[in-house]
Amino acid sequence: MDFPVIPSGLATYTLWDTRSPYGGDGAVGRPEVLSGRPREVHGADGGEEGHLVPAASSRGSYDEGMLRAALRPRSLGMLALMVAATVVCGMLAGWQWDRAHRAITERTSAPAELGDVRDVLEIGGVVTNDDSGGIVTATGTYDASQQILVGGRHIDGTDAAIVVTALHLTLADGSEVLLPVARGWVAAEDVTGADGELDPALAPDPPSGEVTATGRLEASEAATDGVEDGIASEISTPLLVNEWGSPMYAGYVAQTSAAEGLQPMPEAESAFSRGLDWQNIGYAAQWIVFGVFFLYLWWRTVRTHHLDEQEAQREALRAALGEETPRPAPGADAPTPAGAPGAAHPQEDADAGTPPAR
Amino acid sequence: MPAPRPLDEVQVRTSFARFRVASIVEGCALLVLCAIMIMRYLVYGGTSHTWEQVSSVWSPIHGLIYMVYVILGFDLWLKMRWALPRMLLLMLFGVVPVLSFFGERWTHESVERELARRPTLQDGER
């Protein structure tokens, strides 16, 4: 393991420990202090073996100390808690991941037959997730003047425009309601006028008289801009209400049976929608970050405890040597008197160039 | 129990100042989010397009503010050399409406108390 970050408290020690007072060769002179006297003391003291040996004098003892700190019952209990938190975060990440892919996965199962759209939808009601994607039939008459082109789609590798027409349905009480029907799609170049813009006049007219359209019920797409000159970017009922009037169902039917002059709508909505929901992908990533953060917190805690313990051991060592405990100077870089016990401090990491006392 | 290593009072106070700002901003952002949720689900019952839009804009912004709050809380937690449960508490303060304001006051008191009690690098200056 490598620990590149020097915690704030530690940075002070390293400054007055080894580097500044002695420069490069200081570290060479001191190993006698380290390898000789402290071990004597620890032998006389009779304390636990690993504890009074200046910690981190080698890589091995640093890792062992960390391991001991990590295996304390309290640390293990905390680890269990953190792992539980991480698992919860992982599950939440999975949930968001599924949500991001829902448009694809849900459509792969066989769609439900829902029957007449008038029995499925209420005027003003929303298309629920359960109903969305189900097959409905709608019988009524198209209004050729209420037709728009929805451009900017890619279907079967072709730049496509979807033809959406208002179907007028008659309810049981004799009132009339509008239902947008995506009758099918055409290649964008077939409906592009001489000026390079989509031209709704080039789209095939709807059949006249009473017709029955069969297709998937879909929720309205979110609008990003309006309907202009019969062109829109989304099949959005809030926009179409403005154009065609109300009452209108808050959803549309994507016709899967072929209409004259048009390609039928693809089986899956994801094939003509804009693909993955990146917002949900982002949320999934955030949950993973949180999960990792909990584990990192645990590791930091263990490390802090370990460093405290090391420092306590050094204090004990200095006390045992019968020398005065040095305090860090305010500036933290004032020279320590040569030969003072502060000099006996080994580096935490091998970042001082010459590692003391191998 | 190992002897605590000294705190760096200057760093602690800087971190706390940042955390305090983050606490207040996060507290306000969370209240705004709650208001939006009340309008969206309680007042309009999930049918209002406008409130859905407002919510879809504010939710990620609030998420970002909370992330910053957690990072600044983590910074303070490191500088104060606190134990692990305290970090979880700081994170909790940010997700319960109004609690972050009280949490910030409580944290301030803890910081002041511990700076007075525990050894600091600045002790020699006094």
Q: Residue B2: which pLDDT band, with cuts at 50, 70 and 90? A: low
What distance in Å separates the CA atoms of residue B81 and residue B6, rounded to the nearest whole number? 9
With a cut of 50, list the residues of chain A below it in pLDDT. Answer: 1-58, 270-272, 274, 329-358
Mutate which of A51, A302, A304 to disrupt the B interface (most B C-beta within 10 Å)? A304
Is the CB of A293 less than 8 angstroms away from the CB of B122?
no
**C-alpha–C-alpha distance, residues A174 and A215, integer Å:** 24
CA-nearest of A178, A8, A343 to B79 is A8
pLDDT digits (tens, 9 = 90+) for A161-200: 899 999 999 888 888 899 999 998 888 888 888 887 888 8
What is residue A355's predicted lDDT score, i.e. its pLDDT?
Answer: 39
Angle (nearest 5°) at CA A282 between A157 and B85: 165
Phi-psi region of A192 (alpha: psi -120 to 50; beta: other; left: phi over 0): beta
**Is the Cβ pair B67, A286 closer than 8 Å?**
yes
Among A188, A206, A184, residue whose Cα is nearest residue A198: A188
What average pLDDT does the segment B89-117 reach?
Answer: 94
Cα angle for residues A7, A9, A14 (degrees, 5° grid): 85
Contact A311 B121 (CB under 8 A): no
Distance CA A273, CA A233 (A): 11
Of A9, A301, A315, the CB nearest to B83: A301
Shortest CA gap B17–chain A (Å): 18
pLDDT of residue A156: 75
| Portion of chain B with pLDDT greater than 90, in percent | 65
Of B125 and A72, the one with more pLDDT: A72
> Considering CB atoms only, which of B5, B70, B125 is closest to A308?
B5
Only one residue has tokens 């293990």, namely A76
Instruction: Name the residue of chain B whose CA is nearest to A332's CA.
Output: B121
Q: Where are the domains of chain A?
A: 8-84+286-344, 113-275
For the stretch B104-117, pLDDT in tens is 999 999 999 999 99
Nearest CA to A327 out of B80, B116, B122 is that of B122
